[in-house]
Amino acid sequence: MDAVVDLESIRAARTAIAGVVKRTPLITSLTLSGRQAGGEVVLKAENLQRTGSFKIRGAMNKVASLGSGAQRGVTTGSAGNHAQALAFAAAHFGVPCEIVVPVGAPINKIEACRSYGATVIEHGAALKEAVELSMEHARERGTTFCPPFDDVAVIAGQGTIGLELVDDIESLSCVVVPLGGGGLASGIAIAVKSLLPHVRVVGVQAAACAPYCGGAVADGPVLTLADGIAVKYPGEITGPLVSTWLDEIVSVDEDAIADAMVLLMDRAKLVSEGAGAVGVAALGAGLVRAAHDGVTCVVVSGGNVDLGLVPGLIRRRENQAGRRLSIFARIGDRPGALAQLLSVFADGGADLIEVEHLREGLDLHVRQTGIHATFAVRTREQATALVEAARRQGLDVSVEGPRSV
């Protein structure tokens, strides 16, 4: 493939990946539409794609573009969605695949790659070291290194989403898409704007790693929920394409990303990783406005979330909504004191989630014990009434966490 990404190369990619890549559904979001003073908002659910993200589109097209050159094998350095996508694509075409991941990469992602038949090597403390080793192996063994985004075949494959949006959405006016390395955003923008030049395309970065927004990114690991788009430098190919084809780029903070992930689970019944939810976060935070006329599409790019994060996200939302009450109480260290404390909250309709005795490191009388307790409640007003009721009975109760009662 020539070093050009255009409408024709994207159309060719659609043919190359047909029959393997899903045409993912569009889901109308009444919640987001209701929050916007504009038109309809729909979600492009790439989190329901094979291997759990849009990455399979670019990986399939890349391996297909190699022809007989793929027979010696493909390799990449990645700990995320690209690794799984390339392993799947290699299995489909029956070619060897080697994935190099950093030491300590999530075991579920390693096992996913192995389940597709890939050889997985753990090397280095950071992704950069894993990538360097994979490139070295490609040179030594004559295999093909497959970049995650900075490659014309990969970009064209990701751009097939844009063709689907044009085909499936009448009156398309705006597309909001996650922006990391730029392969997804530029591919979609080229496809959409080549056919519908009036459509606005907005890229969304995580504020913790937003080089396209001019933010300096420090060395070392980036702490963000949107690790899938935490790319520190624009690509040599994707950088100019993003600058040329996107209309606007914004960044969202971690709170907005967390809110968006829970909103997608709660209202749309979609599980999204942080990188996949940044478009929803931008609309929810008011950083991007839905089109006044026509349809705004938000691309939910992936669903491979670390399941260990989900309980914390839910607890955070419950705290914010006033449906969770955490207290600290000093009570007498005597039989029945804990039962008296808990009965106040039980009588008021609170459901005990957990309770813990705390004695070390606290300023307590020798005949006192500290109690940390968490309750499920229905409203902030109920929480306030429960704490006041406990205090009226002479109990020394204070509220823990971000809320004040």
Token representation of residue 347: 């009588």
Token representation of residue 45: 């659910």
∠ CA 18-109-265, nearest 5°, is 75
Distance CA 224, CA 269 (A): 23
Which helix H or strand E contains 150, and what residues bound it?
none
Whether 193 is a known active-site residue: answer no
Which helix H or strand E contains 329, and what residues bound it?
strand 324-332
The alpha carbon of 371 is separated from its chain's Cα centroid by a whole number of angstroms, namely: 36
Q: Which of 9, 186, 251, 301 is catalytic?
A: 301
Q: What is the SS3 string spanning 231-297?
A: CCCCCCCHHHHHHHHCCEEEEECHHHHHHHHHHHHHHHCCCCCCHHHHHHHHHHCCCCCCCCCCEEE
- The type of residue at 327 is I
In angstroms, what CA-CA distances link 75 with 102, 129, 241?
14, 14, 25
Q: Which of 9, 44, 53, 55 is catalytic?
A: 55
**Radius of gyration for the alpha carbons in the chain, expressed in angstroms and rounded:** 25
Token representation of residue 151: 């490659």
Candidates 247, 212, 250; CA nearest to 231 is 212
In angstroms, what CA-CA distances link 280 with 95, 218, 225, 368?
37, 26, 14, 48
Give the three-state DSSP class for 210: coil
Whether 55 is a known active-site residue: answer yes
Candidates 333, 347, 324; CA nearest to 393 is 347
Candidates 222, 218, 156, 212; CA nearest to 183 is 156
Contacts of residue 117, Cβ cutoff 8 Å, sequence gap at least 6 = 87, 90, 91, 97
Token representation of residue 136: 């070295």
- What are the catalytic residues? 55, 301
